[in-house]
Copies of this chain bind each other. A is one copy, B any other.
């Protein structure tokens, strides 16, 4: 699992990280029972404070996505798949709707929006092949 923080994004790092975990579970890249990186190791890797990682893990645990085993580590919870699929679906819908509303508000045609998404998709595909 590869996590990363976009410091230019307006959302705080702790939320970005939590979202990435939800998305990873929803897509199956993380499965129930999988162990997550340790608070300290991940914090060093993505250059944020251990407390910030800890906050994300704590929020996700309260949400039922993660399970903490004291002295051992954090693991993806059993029922996480369903709830993450729902949460991810809702979140993505909201973000797409917001972006679409902005595009229309800026005077773009719906065709232009589709074109941008299509082009962006080609870019994404190429990038994931390359990596």
A115 CB, min distance to chain B CBs, angstroms: 10
Those of A24-39 within 8 Å (CB) of chain B: 24, 26-28
Q: On chain A, which size bracket covers the interface?
A: 35 or more
Whether A26 lies near B107 (C-beta < 8 A) is: yes
Whether B99 lies near A110 (C-beta < 8 A) is: no
Asked whether A96 and B92 contact (CB < 8 A) given A10-B10, A117-B113, the answer is: no
Measured CB to CB, the nearest residue on chain B to A110 is B121
Chain B residues contacting A15 (CB-CB under 8 Å) are 10
> Which residues does A use to contact B, with CB under 8 Å?
9-12, 15, 19-20, 22-24, 26-28, 88-89, 91-93, 95-108, 110, 113-114, 116-117, 120-121, 123-124
Chosen A-B contacts, 15 in total, with CB atoms closer than 8 Å, are: A9-B10, A10-B10, A27-B105, A27-B106, A89-B106, A91-B102, A92-B99, A92-B102, A93-B116, A96-B103, A96-B117, A97-B123, A100-B117, A100-B124, A113-B121
